[in-house]
């Protein structure tokens, strides 16, 4: 179980190999990678900057990860989130979950992403293809995605 | 009591500062009280907290509601709804 906030890119294959190294109890690994698109709400995107709340970010991610560990039998999990300047095609976030069977790994990965989006203190500022900058607005659908897990508690 | 106040994203841009230490009057008891008090500090604060209904808060790096008490708080943060992931 670990979380990282970093400027550098991550290598999904290397992260999965490190997480599974020497383990023989893992039967299923699910990875989710979030990436920067060149279009958002019909607007061309040239890049974005990710700001966060150092300290609170790490504690929120650890809290969300611990909650996933309580709900599903996970052998391991990892959250990596990038900050700073990113371009279309760049990786933003990585979630990896490992379990004995696929159901827990799939469900926990989806839960981690939904809760991360609803509670981890990151803010995206997009730079449009026209050079204009704007803060990305939170989507109501993201809050709804997190709430459906709360109802299952 | 002196408390560190931190601002993030467009709240930071509008106030023009990332953080400051403020001496809060004793009648400021909740997060909502504090937002109302901050609004009166100057035009940049009035602008930053004009949409106070959408601004989220954290006390000592944990999410709180506007009704949360400030008692014992060391660090209070204000920010827009989060947009990570």
Mean pLDDT of B26-38: 97
Mean pLDDT of B54-81: 97
Q: Taking CB atoms and an 8 Å limit, are A52 and B84 in contact across chains? A: yes
Q: Which of A33, A45, A48, A51 to mutate to test the interface with B (most CBs of B within 10 A)?
A: A51
Rounded to two decimals, the ipTM of the complex is: 0.95
pLDDT for residue A143: 84
CA-nearest of B10, B33, B6, B9 to B22 is B6
- Chain A residue numbers with beta carbons less than 8 Å from the beta carbon of B84 are 50, 52, 81, 93, 116-117, 120-124
Tell me how crowded residue A135 is: count the other CB atoms within 10 A of its CB: 16
pLDDT for residue A153: 60
C-alpha distance from A107 to closest chain B C-alpha (Å): 17
Q: What is the pLDDT along chain A (153 residues), one digit of tens a residue?
A: 799 999 999 999 999 999 999 999 999 999 999 999 999 988 999 999 999 999 999 999 999 999 999 999 999 999 999 999 999 999 999 999 999 999 999 999 999 999 999 999 999 999 999 999 999 999 888 888 888 888 776
| Cross-strand partners of A28 | A99
Token readout for A116 is 């991360």
| Beta carbons of A68 and A74 less than 8 angstroms apart | yes
Alpha carbons within 13 A on the beta-carbon side of A72: 27
| Beta carbons of A126 and A136 less than 8 angstroms apart | yes
| Beta carbons of B3 and B29 less than 8 angstroms apart | no
CA A137 – CA A53 distance, rounded (Å): 17
- What domain range is A56 assigned to? 2-151
For B70-79, the pLDDT digits (tens) are 999 999 999 9
Alpha carbons within 13 A on the beta-carbon side of A26: 19
pLDDT interval class at B52 (50, 70, 90): very high
Q: Taking CB atoms and an 8 Å limit, are A121 and B62 in contact across chains? A: no
Is residue B57 predicted with pLDDT exceeding 80?
A: yes
Mean pLDDT of B23-37: 97
Q: Taking CB atoms and an 8 Å limit, are B84 and A53 in contact across chains? A: no
CA distances to A16, A67, A105, A133, B24 from A124, rounded to whole Å, are 27, 25, 28, 10, 31
Q: Where are the domains of chain B?
A: 15-64
C-alpha distance from B62 to closest chain A C-alpha (Å): 7
């Amino acid at each position: 179980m670990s979380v990282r906030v970093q400027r550098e890119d991550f290598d999904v294959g290397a992260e999965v190999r490190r997480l599974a190294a020497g383990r023989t109890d893992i039967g299923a690994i699910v990875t989710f990678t979030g990436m920067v698109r060149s279009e958002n709400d019909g607007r061309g995107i040239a890049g974005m900057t990710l700001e966060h709340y150092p300290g609170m970010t790490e504690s929120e991610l650890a809290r969300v990860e611990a909650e996933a560990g309580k709900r599903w039998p996970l052998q391991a999990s990892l959250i990596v989130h990038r900050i700073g300047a990113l371009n279309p095609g760049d990786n933003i976030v990585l979630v990896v979950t490992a379990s004995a069977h696929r159901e827990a790994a799939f469900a926990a990965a989806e839960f981690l992403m939904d809760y991360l989006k609803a509670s981890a203190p990151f803010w995206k500022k997009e730079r449009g293809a026209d050079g204009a900058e704007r803060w990305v607005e939170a989507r109501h659908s993201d809050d709804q995605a997190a709430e459906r897990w709360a109802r299952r508690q | 009591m002196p408390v560190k106040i931190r601002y993030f994203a467009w709240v930071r841009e509008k106030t023009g500062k990332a953080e400051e230490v403020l001496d809060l009057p004793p009648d400021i008891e909740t997060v909502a009280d504090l937002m109302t008090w901050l609004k009166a500090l100057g035009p940049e604060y009035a602008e930053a907290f004009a949409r106070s209904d959408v601004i989220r808060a954290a006390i000592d790096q944990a999410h709180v509601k506007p009704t949360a008490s400030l008692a014992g708080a060391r660090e209070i943060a204000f920010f827009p709804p989060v947009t990570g992931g």
